[in-house]
Amino acid sequence: MTTATRTRLKFENAKPNIASRILNTKEELLSGELSAEIRELIEQRGVLVFPQINFTDDEQVEFTKTLGTFMPEMAGQDVYAISLDEKVNPNRDYLKGSLYWHADGTMNALPIGYALLTSKVLPTWGGNTEFCNTYAAYDALSAEDKALVANLRVMHSAWTSLFYYDPEPGQDMLERMMGIGDKELPVVWTHRSGRKSLVLGCTAHHVLGMDWTESARLLNRLREHATSEPFHYAHEWSVGDCVMWDNTGTMHRARPYDPDCGRLLTRTKTGGEEPIA
């Protein structure tokens, strides 16, 4: 009589508060047998790295589907090309905001759940992707700060992020970005699990009901805290690496790189499972 052996997740932690490297084979990952363990681990670690796993686009889509409800891109494609080459990505200007700390989909009814990037072409210089664990950052706040931010709400908007990379935009561009709308969100997201994370980033405009100067001071201080060394991980890409992050408990940004170098990553994602509340 043969005995079935269950595949187990193999990993090592990159840093104490964020990021783990997954050591399983591609075949084990694509089987779907590890999906529950992966979901459990990423909630704790925020970021998972699959070193040189070399997913094809189809394999990346297949793997993403084992983790949750697959979410196509706005234009309907399964895979989004992260590239500043206009021939590869006609909407490359959209990526300018990715150089600043953010979470994806904060303006959506449900933010994006998990996102996965696979490296296809390396930059000539720069181009690391940085992450921070906003669960761990909240947990590390002082009791005084937790009381301060417990009930605060912030107005978020896509047009706020526009001014990070284009301080004097054309009026047409500003009107288009303003057309996306504004959304009021809590500073502290209390998840259905009971855990709490910070909701910050370059879409955050001001704390409602607070003096604007004090609002700017607070949002900047919280962002500086959340992205500081204890909660921060920077990934230096190798071709074939795949990095997955929990968009509901992290922020991320790309570091500057040569815009003409052909850097290319491919993204897939899952839909969110709960609203920010």
- Predicted confidence (pLDDT) per residue in 220-240, tens digit: 999 999 999 999 999 999 999
pLDDT band, residue 97 (cuts 50/70/90): confident
Instruction: Answer yes or no: is 275 within a domain.
Output: no
Mean pLDDT of the region 178-193: 96
* pLDDT above 90 for 181: yes
Instruction: Answer yes or no: is 3 within a domain.
Output: no
Instruction: Answer yes or no: is 211 within a domain.
Output: yes
Q: Which domain holds residue 133?
A: 11-269
Neighbouring CB atoms inside 10 A of 101's CB total: 20
Mean pLDDT of the region 172-187: 95
* pLDDT above 70 for 215: yes
| Per-residue pLDDT, 1 | 38
Instruction: Answer yes or no: is 242 within a domain.
Output: yes
Instruction: Answer yes or no: is 274 within a domain.
Output: no
Mean pLDDT of the region 198-218: 97
Instruction: Answer yes or no: is 5 within a domain.
Output: no
pLDDT band, residue 27 (cuts 50/70/90): very high
- The answer to pTM > 0.85 is yes
Instruction: Answer yes or no: is 2 within a domain.
Output: no
Instruction: Answer yes or no: is 231 within a domain.
Output: yes
Which 3 state secondary structure label does DSSP give 78?
coil
Neighbouring CB atoms inside 10 A of 26's CB total: 15
Residue 169: which CATH number? 3.60.130.10
Backbone φ and ψ for 88, nearest 5 degrees, come out as: -90, -40
Neighbouring CB atoms inside 10 A of 248's CB total: 25
- Contacts of 65-68 with CB under 8 Å at 24 or more apart are 66/29, 66/30, 66/32, 66/35, 67/35, 67/38, 67/39, 67/114, 67/244, 67/270, 68/39, 68/113, 68/114, 68/270, 68/271, 68/273
CA 46, CA 83: separation in Å to the nearest integer? Answer: 24
| Per-residue pLDDT, 5 | 53
Query: How many folded domains does the chain comprise?
Result: 1
